[in-house]
Amino acid sequence: MTVSTTTIKNSHSGNGTAHSFAYGFKIFADADLDVIVRSSTGTETVKTLNTDYIVTNAGSDSGGNVLFKFNTGTSSDAHFSSSDKRPQNGETVILRRGLDITQSTDYVANDPFPAESHENALDRLTLISQELQEELDRSIKLSRTNTMTSTEFTVGATDRASKVLAFDSSGEISVTQELGTFKGDWAASTAYVIRDIVKDTSTNNIFIVTSAHTSSGSQPLTTNANSAKYSLIVDAASATTSATNAASSATAAASSATAAASSASTASTQASNASTSASTASTQATNAASSATAAAASASQLVTLIDNFDDVYLGAKSSEPSVDNDGDALNAGDLFFDTSVNALKVYSGSAWQITTQTSLTEVSGDSTPQLGGDLDVNGNEIVSTSNGNIALTPNGSGVVRIDGSTGVDISQGAISIKNGGSQSYIRLYCESSNAHYVQFTAPAHSDFSGNITVVLPATAGTLALTSQLPTSGISSGNVATFTSGVADDDFLRVNGTTIEGRSASEVASDIGATTKGFAVAMAIAL
């Protein structure tokens, strides 16, 4: 055959149901195929031949299929397994040719030229070259015009741990400390994780957290009880001192060079000594210059770090800034201390938020919630669930007060007033400064023989108290009452404002009739 394709791998998506996945390239044996399943989180798992899957059509130029095993069918089925090996939804199946880099073709002297065996050997070499090229295509490499002294790591695994790949000042490969998230000024009782960055406000030094912990103690962090859990990344004092010392060394070296040159010109007899002194001075100048360059680089790095820090933590301000300290646009994660509310605020990407406060969604986890101001229902209602009561319970002598300019509206029309040991009552106050009231009081417990329902009349009027009823007589607006002396079978006589009982004989006498005839007539009438 001829190798007409450069394809060495295929990729498929799993769905928890499919178990057959095609590969479109030649392999010589089942073991020449690498089967890798990648999870949705990026974890890669190399599957095992005949345990997780089987391969078909090894040796075919057009490829074949990988059949994942699953628990359907019988144990005699080639794909059967007691557990389901099929790739799940969200997983990716990668089928890649991975030939062993070996030479297995043996030519015997004086035998006929084995064309097919020779061609298979050439095909195998071509396929191996394709695999190597595929790996090279996935590698980081220099361009054709770039150079690097060495691409090998000399740093051991222990020293590389928790570091990042970087390039040094010469462009060579190196490792450096990974920076993390800036947490602002260090504070006690704060949960810090690895690679958090904090500022020691007592020294202005910048530290990176090397071990997760909850902070305690005080600054400076170099003497803190947890000092071993911090690593210094910016020594502000040392950088300043180094820059100053380097400048002094450079000045001294320049002076030495001047003195040496002067000595050489003034005395030929001291030329040799002057030359030696000049050489020494030159060396010192070179060393000083190197020190100055290094110090300048450190100072530059410090300035850059401080500037970057200054762009993240904007300092104390009385109002929310709209740009950073350089006048550039704000970024999510920027911080500043708001002196108007004495709180640290963080920029969300669209607005400033207090870092110690989140949006209030529920208070079920707070056993003693308190309001910091008036509760505005904002057009909503206070409701309960599961037929629960809504209880307003003032402390001590406090009362439940419902204020409003238009009174209280009870929509369901039922009010129950209960108490803890005295008769319940309702007070209705007058309209002038609540100076007077009418009180409705429930009877005492001993007066009840059952529950009492009082129905008000359906027409307008004024209710009268028993104390307002006349003891006798009749008048406008009052209920008629009777004087004493009313007996059974008496007739009633109205006399002015009094009502009295009269016997039949008295009535006959009153009207001037005979007693007997009147009595019979009244009897008939009755």
Question: What is the rounded average pLDDT of the residues 202-227?
Answer: 92
Query: What is the 8-class DSSP label of residue 71?
Result: S
Nearest alpha carbon to residue 47 among 35, 38, 55, 65: 35
352-406 tens-digit pLDDT: 988 755 455 566 656 677 776 788 888 888 888 888 888 888 888 888 888 777 7
pLDDT category at 304 given cuts 50, 70, 90 is confident
Contacts of 444 (CB under 8 A, 6+ apart): 423
More confident residue, 457 or 89: 89
Q: What angle do CA 284, 290, 291 make, to 5 degrees?
A: 85
Both tokens assigned to 18: 């499919």
CA proximity to 234, closest of 203, 193, 191, 211: 203
For the chain, the straight-line distance linking the first and the last C-alpha, in angstroms and rounded, comes to: 140
**pLDDT value of position 79:** 83
Res 473: pLDDT: 56
Which percentage of the chain shows pLDDT scores above 90?
Answer: 25
pLDDT above 70 (res 200): yes
Can you read off the two tokens belonging to residue 348? 């969300």
Domain ranges in the chain? 9-137, 178-234, 239-294, 470-525
How much is the mean pLDDT over the chain?
A: 81
Q: What is the mean pLDDT of residues 424-444?
A: 88
Q: What is the pLDDT of residues 441-500, one digit of tens each?
A: 889 898 888 898 888 888 887 776 766 666 555 555 555 666 656 777 777 777 766 777
In degrees, to the nearest 5, what angle opens at C-alpha 251 toward C-alphas 245 and 257? 135
Beta-bridge mates of residue 12 = 93
Pick the CATH number of 178-234 from 2.10.10, 2.60.40, 1.20.1260, 3.30.1490: 2.10.10
- Of 517 and 487, which is predicted with more confidence? 487
